[in-house]
Every structure is written in C-alpha cells, then in structure tokens.
Structure 1
Amino acid sequence: MDRPVIARLQLLPPPGGLRRFAIANLINTIGSGLYITSGTLFFTRAVDLTVEQTALGLTLGTGVGLALMMAFGRLADRFGAKPVYVTLLVGQALMMAAYTQVQDFSWFLVVAVLSGIADRGISGTVGSLIHAMSGKESRITARAQLRTATNVGLGVGTLIAGVSLLVDTPAAYTCVVAGNAALFAVAAAMLAGVKVAHTPPHPAAAGPVRRASPLRDVRYLAVTAANGLLALHVSVLSFALPLWVADHTEAPEWSIALIMIVNTVLVVLFQVRASRRASTVPQAARMARATGAVLAAACLTLACTPALSPALCVAVLLLWAVVYTAGELWQTSAEFCFGFELAPDDAQGAYQSVFALGPGMMRALAPTVLAVLVLKNGTLGWAALAAFFLISGALASAAAMWAHRNRETPRPVVTAPARLPERSAASS
C-alpha cells in the first residue's frame, strides 16, 4: 500500500510520539501473533508439558494478572503511564526469555504467573498511556489506530509462525518464543525515548482533592460489566467459529483461514472510520445498542450453516464474516469512547485498568460459556447467543447513558482532613 493511500485511510497517527507508539505496538503484536499461533505447541512439544498442565498455568497467570490490574493502573496515575508500561514490556520480554529455559512444571507455573501479571498489566495501562499522549479530540481515533496496528501485527506474526508449524520441531517452537521476547524488548526500547507529560496527583496537603475510585463508581462499573458481556464476540471468532465450521458444517477447513483474513482486512481498513462515529457517549451508546443487533444477526446466520452444501456454506460464512466484523468494529469503537469519556482525567490509570477487566474476565470465561451454550446445543445455542447479544447491547447502551448523565452533573468535592497546627515545645 503506497503512502497516499495510508495517509488517506489514516492508519497511523501523525508523526510524533503517538506514531512511535503505534509502530512499537505493531512490533510488539507481531510477537504476539507468533506466540498465539505456536506458543501452546512450544509448551507441549518443547517443554514436554501436558495440555492440562499448560492450561492450568496459563489460566492461573491470567487470573492473578486480572486481580492486579488496578494496582498497575494506580501506579500509572502516580508515576506516569509510560514508565509503568515500558517496565511491564521489559518484564514480559524477560518472562518470554525465561520460558525458553523452563524444564519442569513447577518453574513453568512461576514464569506463567509472572508473565500473566505483566500481560494483564500491559492491557490495563495502555488506555492510560494513550490518554496521556493524545488530546481529547483525538484519543478515540488514536485508540482505533493502535488497534489497526495490532491487527496488522497479529496477522504478520501468524504468517511467520506458520513456518514453525511446517517445520514442527521443538527448536522451531523455541525460536518463536525467543522471537517474541526480542520483539517485546524492541518495543520497550522504542517507547523508552518518547516524552510523555505526566501530572502527579495533588498531595493531600494542597487542599481540596477529588478521590476518584472506579470501585466506588457504580455507574462506571455497570458500563464495564455490560461492555464485558458484549466483548464475548471476540471468542466467538477465535474459539467457537473454528470448532463450529470444522465439526458442524460441510465447509472445508481452509475456509476458517479465509474468514480470519477477511476479518483482519476489514478491521484494518475500517476501524478508524468506525471510531469517528462514536466520538461522544450518546453516539457510542447508540452504536452499542446497534452492535447487539448486528452480532445477533451474525449468530442466526451461523445457525443455518449445517444444512448447506460446501460451496453455499463458504459463501454464507463469508457473509457472516462481513456482518460479524461490522459488529466488532462498532463494539470496539463504543468501548474506546466509554473507557475514556466516562473516566475522570485525573484517574485514567485506575479507571482504564478496571474497564479492561470486563473484556478480560469475559475472555477467561468465554471458552466454557461458548462450549456449553453453543457448541453442545447447535442451532438452539446460536439462537440463545443471539438473544444474549441483543440484551447485552441494550444494557451497555443504557448503562453508558446513565453514567454519562452522572458525569454531566458536578460531583461533590471530597476535601482532605484539615491539618492541625503543630504544637510548639512551649505549649506542650
């Protein structure tokens, strides 16, 4: 793609710190594409762990990381998002390198937990870093551009990881994990030189302060939960769809890769455009409600595929990819707006980390939910999931408007306790 086309589509932020961040994110997610594609095989074939041991370690790491996400958000508020984010990138680079030295299950558990903490910390602080590096009018677009870079990176990493699948040796899988470690380190080095302004919290002695906590903000928590429900669509694409196509339809298995390619291309081309239509909370709320309807239509489309011939099934699956991707683009655009606009500017780290818990917890629960609800019940399961998305979209929209009305109302200021004058030695 030539430079004029890139400029017209605005796939990258303008020159400066945000563009450097986008390129670092692209490099980082190439490594993620490597790891997602071949990481499990590294553990089972190079480290010689069982599938159950691998799943236990990775699940435990994710769980501990989710529990600590808000702590990293608080650190970002206090010390700045950039140093916390870069430190976590370095930590993840070290953990990926450590994986290549693991030789038994006990050490794997240790590294998996530390890696899970760094991984969730990165996810929980990225929003705070974007907020610090961009202006109010460009934050949602910047987040969309970062997501575009993420999809490009994942696609490139997946293609490169295909070589390790063809070679299919422990050494090849070890190189994949080592490459991921190196790319984390490169991304950290690129961001280390970027200047990011940071205003530390006001000390209590400075007078009246607003003590904003997302855990006490019921409206924000409601938006977080409802958005997390809508985020189930991510695992529909990555988990349920491949199993459904392979086990319940006549479509050839190569059609799964074709759907993934179509989805990636559409996200790269249209994510930034879609985000412009969710620049305010009311716009994003309407988009979330529409998202529920579009994802419901996608579920009903899949429900009819078992009865189709191979050729017709592939055609319907391609139609599904377009409909589903529209829902994905709208959900993520609304999510970007909710996360930024409904959080106070002086507590973005804490609020963004809590907001990321919604999709994070859904990602952890999704395989079980989709296996039990959809894959075991076929057409009826897809119909139930369609109703789930309809309700989730309505809940996300209503919760966002509830929180928005509260944000428009001035909040009472909580003052710090007045400090008594110090007693002199003569008065004691």
Structure 2
Amino acid sequence: MVAAALVDRVGSGLWASVSVLYFTYVSHLTVAEIGALAAVAGAVGIAGAPVAGRVADRLPLTRVLVTVQIVRALASLALLTTDHYALLVAFSALGGLGDRAASVLTKLYATRVAGPDRVRYQAVHRTVANAGWALGGLAAAAALTLGATGAYAWLLTGDALSFLACALITLRCGEPPSPSRTAAASDRAATTAPPAGPWRDRTYLAYVATETVLFLDDAVFKVGLPLWIAHADNAPDGLAPLLMVLNNVMVVALQVPMARFAATTPAARRLLLPLSAVFVLGGLTMTLSATGGTITATVLLTVSAAAFTLAEILHATVSWELSVALAPDTAQGSYLGVHGLAQAAQRSIGPLTVTAAIAAGPLGWTAFGSGIALTCLVQHRLIRDRLAEKPSPPITVSKN
C-alpha cells in the first residue's frame, strides 16, 4: 500500500500544480468560475470521508478502495471530454468525493494491517506520499516548459492513470482483518443491537471539532505565509516558495523519526503539550517578523515556517494514534470517516482564518498561534477520561 501512496501522490502532484492553468487556458473559465468550481468540489468532497468509512465497516476494504480509485480515474478522464461548465463542476466534485474517500480508506487500511505499529506505518506512508507529491510537481514543471496547452491534457491523463495503477496495486494487497465485520457477524448470531455510531458519540465529535482547529497549519503554508510575505515591506518575494520547500524537506526527513514519540496512546496525548508550545512559537515569530529589516524578517519567517512544519509533523503523529484509540474496534471505519471531516472542514475555514489573522495586523498571528495552542490543551483534557476507559494496545517488540 505504500507503493500505491507513492504512485497516487505522483499523479496528484502532476495535476494539483496545473489544475488552475488547465481550467484557465484549456477550458477557458474565468477566475470566478474556477473559484466556484473549487468551492463546490471541496464541499461535496466533505461527504467522502464519512460515507467511505461507513461502507468499509461493512464491505471488504480493498474492494472499496479499488472502486474509489477507479471512480477518481474516471472523474479525471471525464474532465478531458468537455468544456461545459456544469459538467466540469460535476466531474470535479466527483473527484473531490473520491479524494477524501481514498484518504480515510488508506488510513483505515494502515490501522487494520499495522495494529500497534500504526503510527510508524502512517509516518512512512506520509513520507513517501510527500516525496511523490514533490516528484509529480517537478514533472509538471518540466512538462510546462514545452509551452503547449496540450501538455495540460497529458498531465491530467497521467493523474488518471496513476489512480488506475493504484487500483491494480491495491488488488495485489491482502485484505486486512476487520473487527467491525467480525463483530457484525457475531451480532447477527446473538441477535444483539450494534453499538451507537460516531454521530451519537459526543466526546468523539468534540474531539473532531478540536482537530479541525489543529489542522489549520495546512492553511499557513497554502495561504498565510505567501500572502503575508507578498504584503510585507521587509520580506523578499522569493522567500515563499523556499519556505514551501523547507516544509516538504522537513516532513520527509522528520516524519518517521518523530513517530516514536507517539508509539502509545498515553504518549500521543502527552505530545499535545509540547505541540501547543510549538504553535505559540510559530505565531509569535510571524508577529516579530514585521518589526525588523529584510534579514531579520527572513530569519524569523524561516523560524516560523520551521515551527509550523514541526507542529504539522507532531500533530499528524498525535492524530493518527488518537483518532483510532478513541474509536471502538467494531466501528473504526465509521469513526475515522467522521474524523476525516476535520481536514475537509479545515480546507474551507482555514483560508478565512489565516486571512483574518493577516487583516488583524502582526498581533493577529500571535492570536492565531495561541488559539491553536489553547485548543491543544482543550483536547488534552477532553480525551483524558475516555482514554482511561480503554487500555492501550500492547507494544510489539521485534526479536533479532
């Protein structure tokens, strides 16, 4: 499945970096139309995570994931067949639905196949995915040097083919054990009622709400830093892409080593405390970057980018463990599907939040970082009693 992640992200890197250009130069859409298209696709995509998670609790996971990958491929190829705006929106929305569904299904697969080692497995998976994304972006940049609009179509085709390749790779993967399907069979035999789902679990829903806030680091790199640098008088314009490179390099280099700090559920919860301090540091250095000259601003913005990247790495590690540990074994798919709403919701509120921080002036960034830090502390307290009721899984120790 790690190989599938690499192929998937290479394809996504091909398309993500040129999608706006494709809709502009090939489909001839206006800026407003492209914005509306992206908004609709994102809104529809929100449903992908909970729907996929619920289905995966009832059907073989690999078959569901193969189906989703085929749907993603068909949605990408369908974009090549029309310039009609309504159809482009529909196909993009279908692709967005598939993207979010694939994300939660991949996480569920890791949870089932890796067991107690799920955090390390996810770390390796994310590292490979980031490397694939970078390779795809580089390939797209090289293709665009040809200067022909036909290159966009080929990049979109490459994206679609990557999904088909992922489906083929997934077919070769073994079906992991499913506690939910085993429990469902036992329930039918014993004629007992199944447990309540995540939508009635107030603690888990509150946890997902705090997760939405903690995922805001994503908006910092996609919107916040570039806009802040673009409007700053003392920061070089070319710094923004360099900080994006720093983000990618740090994730690839540190995600796997940092996974050991959340090897158990209690360790993952404890990691929320230093995570809150890192968020404060990121916001504070952004604020201070407005007070000095070019060199000072460059150094402080670099420190801020490194802090927010470290926060991203730590939160990913914590989130992988806690989102599973807080879910009952018999409904992991449904619960992880609801957890997937946090990232989907962040994609909508994240840009608004960071632009509000920028509009508030330098101190807005201190408030931004402190607000997320406070949410870390809220989450740390929120899940305490729940985790005390559920024992941590045993740590697997390999013998040489």
Give the TM-score normalised by structure 2.
0.91
Distance 1:35 1:109 in 2: 16
Q: 1:142 is paired with a residue of what secondary structure?
A: helix
Moved more, 210-219 or 342-351: 210-219
Cross-structure match for 1:25: 5
1:377 corresponds to which of 347, 355, 360: 360
Cross-structure match for 1:217: 201
For the pair 1:330 / 2:314, whether they are aligned, the reply is yes
For the pair 1:192 / 2:175, whether they are aligned, the reply is no
For the pair 1:105 / 2:88, whether they are aligned, the reply is no
Distance 1:133 1:91 in 2: 24
Contact 1:281-1:401 within 8 A present in 2 as well: no
Could you give the per-residue CA deviations for residues 364-408 of structure 1, whole angstroms, max 9, x where no partner exists?
A: 21112221x212122021122022112111112122223213435
Contact 1:230-1:292 within 8 A present in 2 as well: no
Cross-structure match for 1:160: 139
Q: 1:400 to 1:252 in 2, by over 3 A?
A: same
Q: 1:277 is paired with a residue of what secondary structure?
A: helix
Cross-structure match for 1:363: 347
Contact 2:280-2:369 within 8 A present in 1 as well: yes
Contact 2:254-2:313 within 8 A present in 1 as well: yes
Moved more, 378-387 or 146-155: 378-387
Cross-structure match for 1:146: 125
For the pair 1:352 / 2:332, whether they are aligned, the reply is no
For the pair 1:79 / 2:62, whether they are aligned, the reply is no
Q: Percent identity?
A: 27
1:130 corresponds to which of 91, 110, 116: 110
Q: 1:168 to 1:248 in 2, by over 3 A?
A: farther
Contact 1:281-1:337 within 8 A present in 2 as well: yes
Distance 1:203 1:102 in 2: 49
Distance 1:269 1:227 in 2: 24
Contact 1:81-1:132 within 8 A present in 2 as well: no
Q: CA deviation at 1:165?
A: 4.4
Cross-structure match for 2:46: 66
Distance 2:335 2:287 in 1: 38
One-letter amino acid matched to 1:177: L
One-letter amino acid matched to 1:352: L
One-letter amino acid matched to 1:150: A
Question: Structure 1 stretches of 5 or more lacking a match?
Answer: 1-20, 410-428
Question: Structure 2 stretches of 5 or more lacking a match?
Answer: 393-400
Contact 1:212-1:344 within 8 A present in 2 as well: no
Give the TM-score normalised by structure 1.
0.86
Cross-structure match for 1:15: none
Cross-structure match for 1:12: none
Distance 1:42 1:386 in 2: 35
Counterparts of residues 263-342 of structure 1 (less than 5 Å): 263-342=247-326
Q: CA deviation at 1:164?
A: 4.3
One-letter amino acid matched to 1:60: V
Q: 1:197 is paired with a residue of what secondary structure?
A: coil
Distance 2:287 2:241 in 1: 20
Q: CA deviation at 1:28?
A: 0.6
Aligned length: 387
Distance 2:203 2:302 in 1: 38
Cross-structure match for 1:9: none
Cross-structure match for 1:43: 23
Q: 1:171 to 1:394 in 2, by over 3 A?
A: same
For the pair 1:400 / 2:380, whether they are aligned, the reply is no
Could you give the per-residue CA deviations for residues 9-68 of structure 1, whole angstroms, max 9, x where no partner exists?
A: xxxxxxxxxxxx111101110111122211111111111111221221222122122134
Q: 1:333 to 1:59 in 2, by over 3 A?
A: same
Contact 2:288-2:300 within 8 A present in 1 as well: no
Could you give the per-residue CA deviations for residues 252-306 of structure 1, whole angstroms, max 9, x where no partner exists?
A: 2322222122221111111112121112232212212321221121111011223
Show structure 1 runs of 4+ deviating over 4 A: none
Cross-structure match for 1:174: 153
